[in-house]
A and B are shown apart, each in its own frame.
Chain A
């Protein structure tokens, strides 16, 4: 009995080692599990809504809801303060991708005014095993990222807009995400204060 028990245990440990990697006090889940779970979510949304535009909208909304929570995790882990300028923001967003997706997108194509930049992804864990069928050409597969960024930035008093300029799923070389600063949101003033 005890031998069988230890055997089972060692097998379990072996599996755990495959799935989980211990890294800087954080358990990092193998990204394949995440990729496939996200794929299942998108497939289910396509089934539920039947309309690609609605799916894009839903993905963004879900991302937004994730973003407003994820920002707390980011702030607590990195201990970072407010951004000095939009370039600082860009670097923090890059760090965010490193922490949560394990990828480091490059920051490029700054606009002259410094209020717009692009994030270029060579590899994107979300789209690892994905190929878009013909009837889904308007599907923004990674739209959840747009929602996450928008939600997270909104929580730190920044309104941004972002959209995909290039997408590897649509036969571009890289996936390019454009981010534009809209305005700074102000703290709510308590009633009776000026």
Chain B
């Protein structure tokens, strides 16, 4: 079998991309954090699951947070339903199997595993959400 290789040296362009991505990720995290505390404070009832999704005129952001604090975020178009179910599946069938159960994957740093990337890709491509769009 072909061994998965990942390069240890990065070109300046890759570095710049990573930097933009990570600062974007920080912004995203800050926004989600604010929405979460906003939702929990403004809700008149005890929010069981807290923040679920938001919708703009162009896209919908679906949000899933596990009790252990993992956050899964998926952007879709506005007609997509059940994206939350897909996120749960991602957690159960991919993150758990290929990150948590892989002792080489550190839990507090970016996931490097090629196998994980492959499985995420597979999951999304076989999901009805993806299939119904690609026609």
Contacts and interface: CB of A to CB of B under 8 A. Distances in A.
Interface in A69-95: 69, 71-73, 75-77, 79-82
Nearest to B93: A76
Interface string B50-82: 000000000000000011111000000000000
Q: Which interface class (under 10, 10 to 19, 20 to 34, 35 or more) fits A?
A: 20 to 34
B104 interface: no
B101 A155 contact: no
A41 B69 CA distance: 32
Nearest to A190: B30
A155 B68 CA distance: 5
A49 B6 CA distance: 38
Contacts of A76: 91-92, 96
A72 B68 contact: yes
A77 B66 CA distance: 12
Interface string B78-104: 000000000010011001100011000
B45 to A, nearest CB: 15
Majority DSSP secondary structure for residues of B touching A: helix
A155 B100 contact: no
B29 interface: yes
A174 interface: no
B29 A155 contact: no
Interface in A38-86: 68-69, 71-73, 75-77, 79-82
B33 to A, nearest CB: 6
Interface string A120-163: 00000000000000000000000000000000000111000000
Contacts of B68: 71-72, 75, 155-156
Contacts of B109: none
Given A79-B88, A81-B49, 16 more contacts: A69-B101, A72-B68, A72-B70, A73-B101, A75-B66, A75-B68, A76-B91, A81-B67, A155-B69, A156-B68, A156-B69, A190-B26, A190-B29, A190-B33, A192-B30, A193-B33
Interface of A: 68-69, 71-73, 75-77, 79-82, 155-157, 187, 189-193
Nearest 3 Cβ contacts at the A-B interface: A76-B92, A72-B100, A155-B68
